[in-house]
Structure 1
Amino acid sequence: MPMDLPLSKLVSDDGSHVHRKIFTDPALYELEKQHIFSKTWIYMGHESQIPKVGDFITSFIAETPVIVSRAGDKEIYVTINSCSHRGVPVCRADQGNTRRFVCPYHSWTFNNKGDLVSIPQERKVCNKPDKAELGLKRVPRVETYKGLIFACMDENVEPLTDFLGEMAWYLDCFFDRFDGGIEVIGSPHKWTINCNWKLPVENHLGDIGHGPYLHGSILQGTPQVQELEDTGLNVVPKPGHGLSVRLMPEGTPDEMCMFGMDGVAGMDPEVNQYLRESHKKVTERLGEVRSRLKPLCYSVFPNLSFLWPNMTLRTSHPRGPGQIEYWSWFVIEKNAPEHIKEKLKIHYTMMFGPGGLLEGEDAEAWSQQFSGSNIDYADDRTYYYGLGLDEEESHPEIPGKVGSCFNEHYAREFYLQWRQRLEQGIQETSKLEIK
């Protein structure tokens, strides 16, 4: 089904008006898979999940299933999880360790790089197939940043560090915070939500305005809300990426700046002591400014998000224009004592995840947003994303364009990046068709 509106009508030139169709239109969704997910760096997992040769995890690029594996050369390979013989998945586990992936249909066998190494049936035929041509399709680009694994189907994609830009400075606040690095613990929680994939990403780009209202039963009238209004900033380090932070004033006591103090975890005396000791190293490692920077939520274009207070990595995997499979992981300092990890994990599971106190409210809002976007009688009314329009500016202490905690420039830049990538992809496709 072709689009009935040009992209310039779906997202206004300043990003302040966004059409409902970008969340519901099946034709647009197909273009997203073709021109965004296939040509952009997509988060695959963390190196701590595959530390040893033979370790693997499975993931998705949009709806394409992939295997992320550490091969015998210790390099990371990403291959499409579909047998080159009849298309059956060759890996059915979320994670594990193996030397071979075996298709259950005809037992064609592939190594960790995706190379085809065995065809049982070829012993019975005279014309031997060229196994070198029949391996699993490989995702051509794989790069890591501070343990975060990204892959891209476009071999000509820009280097990952260029793609991240100044977002890396903020990622380092957590992923380069600890001497021994971080680790992802366990398999992800997974659940489905009836919403468009962009809605959770937008929320984590910096939508702090919903907190005291949607989550009012817990947050309304708390000191945290006042602190956010006093010190909160929404930041766009590079168009498409965004985050919300609190930049505490110089001289703020360490206990007001420490990582992990946003929730009940900091109330435990033993955890509190661990957080204090951990914070002492931050200034030397990351600098004075980042020692008093308290991020809240991040999103990396197109579908990776991170919740700082709850140590939560998450991806919004699309399953059509109106459904996602949401994945969530607990991440923590690798060298933290095991009993501290367990206590902090309680905070992670209590607040967010399928049964979290706040998660259900967010999921319901995103589902209702999607339902509202399907009201065709309201198609002549675009959504308004103009709060704080043109008020964002450079900041003397932190990189990127910075606005107040209620400035919606994070979303404007996200949807303008979305529009730009679709326009560029359509243009490039048209040129190829002309040739």
Structure 2
Amino acid sequence: MTIDIAALVNDDASLISRRCWSDRQVYELEKRAIFGRAWLFLGHESQVRNPGDFVQAYMCETPVILARGQGGGLHANINSCTHRGVPVCRADHGNTKRFVCPYHNWSFSVEGDLVAIPQEREVQCAPDKSQLGLKKVPRLESWRGMVFGSFNEEIEPLESYLGDMRFYLDAFFERFPGGDVEFAGSPHRWVLDANWKLPVENQLGDVNHGAFLHSTLIPREIQDTIAELGHSVVPAPGHGATFRLMPEDCPVDEVAWGFEGMAGALGGDEVQEYLREVQAQANERVGPIRARMKGLTYGVYPNLSFLWSNSSFKVSHPRGPGKVEYWSWPVVPASAPEHIKAKLRHNYNSFFGPGGMVEQEDAEVWIQQYRGANIDFADDRPFYYGLGLGEEGPHPDLPGQVSVTANEFYAREFFKRWRSDLTSVGAAS
């Protein structure tokens, strides 16, 4: 059965078919057209500092090992033995010299090369081990310590792929000495009965549900401030950033990163002085416009999200049209003293992650949305994405298309790219 992609998303992406969220054929096409061709986030270099360090990752549903080789280089290989396909790594992270398949003990180096087959001494025709290493991820690049891989050998360089999204990400990264941040160990992981795109959309720019869905935690006054000072930006279709651009005379505690979380409020004088010192140097490090940015939510196409206020990176890993495995890491400045890092992580722990109060409310809505996309007798009523249609435009100081946060153009641009990606592969099928 051929998928009529044009019928799923109309030309201005103001109408999105429920099938985009619930149809198995659409999902299988997404795997080839998007996850088989885009840059996908694998991990952060702070997780694999030393030779032999590794973390597990996924590229859509494909398990991958990201490792630091003995020579110091980064390597990404599919976690599947070339003998019978069994995973050769079962730990989430660690340090090792070999990945060993538990079935027949085939042994692979950290770089992914096959180095030992116990059974070959018993046969006369030994196989060529150089041809039997783990399948490598063909493209691997790092930016600001963020490591991405792609199955597409012809994909554009990562910096070009990110484009002007770097301007907005650097408003966070370059605030800190050296421009470095740090991830800690394995992510929180939890599985939801939802489609992978809705968590992405939520973090891409949907900041206007807070005063309603999270009304017991987020007062209406905060939403009014977002409406007054908030900007939504699409640097390129599929990427997005939302933030408040605070007034030039704004008190330091209102604009500085970190004060909106529990660490800033309850971390004590030393933490607060650290946050003020970071902000005092922000103008020099990121320039006057970005120094006034108080970030909200960011997204990198197709499935990486960044929640500025709670200092967490998130990946929405598909597990089918109606299931998603959500991964979430707290992130802190690499240059901060260790005891301050520990307190800053509370910005994440208090509200987000599987036990966070806000995240649980989001998760429930994502589950309910998938059910709404999968009900009978509603196929003729697509979801409406037309709020603010055509109101976005250029800004004198900010790259990309810019509008108020209530404009849903961030989601429309995502689905325009989504439709283009699926069309290009569908036409070639």
TM-score under structure 1 normalisation? 0.96
Matches within 5 A, 1:109-128: 109-128=107-126
Q: Which amino acid aligns with 2:138?
A: P
Q: What residue is the counterpart of 1:433 in the other structure?
A: none
Contact conserved, 1:142 with 1:151, CA < 8 A, in 2? yes
Task: Return the offset for 1:273.
Answer: 1.2
**Aligned equivalents of 2:105 and 2:68: distance in 1?**
22
Question: In percent, how many aligned pairs have the same letter?
Answer: 52
Matches within 5 A, 1:192-271: 192-222=191-221, 224-268=222-266, 269-271=269-271
The correspondence for 1:75, drawn from 73, 76, 83, is 73
Deviates more, 1:175-184 or 1:45-54: 175-184
Q: Which amino acid aligns with 2:301?
A: F
SS at match of 1:219: coil
**Aligned equivalents of 1:338 and 1:186: distance in 2?**
15
SS at match of 2:328: strand
Task: Return the offset for 1:89.
Answer: 0.2
Contact conserved, 1:146 with 1:176, CA < 8 A, in 2? no
**Cα deviations by residue, 1:195-215 (Å, 9 ceiling, x for unpaired):** 000000000011012110000
**Cα deviations by residue, 1:293-324 (Å, 9 ceiling, x for unpaired):** 11101111111001001111110111111011
Q: What residue is the counterpart of 2:404 in the other structure?
A: 404
**Aligned equivalents of 1:266 and 1:132: distance in 2?**
54
Task: Return the offset for 1:142.
Answer: 0.2
SS at match of 2:361: helix
Task: Return the offset for 1:177.
Answer: 2.3
SS at match of 2:237: coil
Q: Does 1:17 align with 2:15?
A: yes
**Aligned equivalents of 2:329 and 2:384: distance in 1?**
32
SS at match of 2:169: helix
Where structure 2 has 5 or more consecutive residues not aligned to the other structure, the ranges are none
**Aligned equivalents of 1:382 and 1:307: distance in 2?**
29
**Cα deviations by residue, 1:245-270 (Å, 9 ceiling, x for unpaired):** 11112232322210112233222333
Task: Return the offset for 1:347.
Answer: 2.6
Q: Does 1:143 align with 2:141?
A: yes
SS at match of 2:85: coil
SS at match of 1:60: strand
**Cα deviations by residue, 1:209-240 (Å, 9 ceiling, x for unpaired):** 21100001111323x22211110011101100
**Aligned equivalents of 1:176 and 1:33: distance in 2?**
34
**Aligned equivalents of 2:128 and 2:43: distance in 1?**
32
**Cα deviations by residue, 1:90-120 (Å, 9 ceiling, x for unpaired):** 0000101111111111111111121111111
**Aligned equivalents of 2:335 and 2:380: distance in 1?**
55
**Aligned equivalents of 1:138 and 1:193: distance in 2?**
29
**Aligned equivalents of 2:346 and 2:194: distance in 1?**
27
**Cα deviations by residue, 1:123-178 (Å, 9 ceiling, x for unpaired):** 11111101111110001000011000000001111111111110011111222321
**Aligned equivalents of 1:108 and 1:402: distance in 2?**
54
Task: Return the offset for 1:343.
Answer: 1.7
Contact conserved, 1:23 with 1:370, CA < 8 A, in 2? yes
Q: What residue is the counterpart of 2:31 in the other structure?
A: 33
Contact conserved, 2:112 with 2:136, CA < 8 A, in 1? yes
Task: Return the offset for 1:74.
Answer: 1.1
**Aligned equivalents of 2:148 and 2:312: distance in 1?**
17
Q: Does 1:131 align with 2:104?
A: no
Q: What residue is the counterpart of 2:355 in the other structure?
A: 355
SS at match of 1:142: strand
Query: What number of residue pairs does the alignment pair up?
Result: 426
Q: Which amino acid aligns with 1:419?
A: R
**Aligned equivalents of 2:49 and 2:262: distance in 1?**
32
Contact conserved, 2:81 with 2:87, CA < 8 A, in 1? yes
Where structure 1 has 5 or more consecutive residues not aligned to the other structure, the ranges are 431-435
Q: What residue is the counterpart of 1:373 in the other structure?
A: 373
TM-score under structure 2 normalisation? 0.97
Contact conserved, 2:207 with 2:297, CA < 8 A, in 1? no
**Aligned equivalents of 2:158 and 2:68: distance in 1?**
19
**Aligned equivalents of 1:254 and 1:263: distance in 2?**
15
Q: What residue is the counterpart of 2:421 in the other structure?
A: 421
Q: Which amino acid aligns with 2:127?
A: P
**Aligned equivalents of 1:228 and 1:382: distance in 2?**
29
SS at match of 1:218: coil
Q: Does 1:389 align with 2:393?
A: no
Contact conserved, 1:213 with 1:220, CA < 8 A, in 2? no
Contact conserved, 1:197 with 1:318, CA < 8 A, in 2? yes
Task: Return the offset for 1:338.
Answer: 1.9
Matches within 5 A, 1:143-222: 143-180=141-178, 181-222=180-221
Q: What residue is the counterpart of 1:328 in the other structure?
A: 328
Contact conserved, 1:62 with 1:319, CA < 8 A, in 2? yes
Q: Which amino acid aligns with 1:392?
A: E
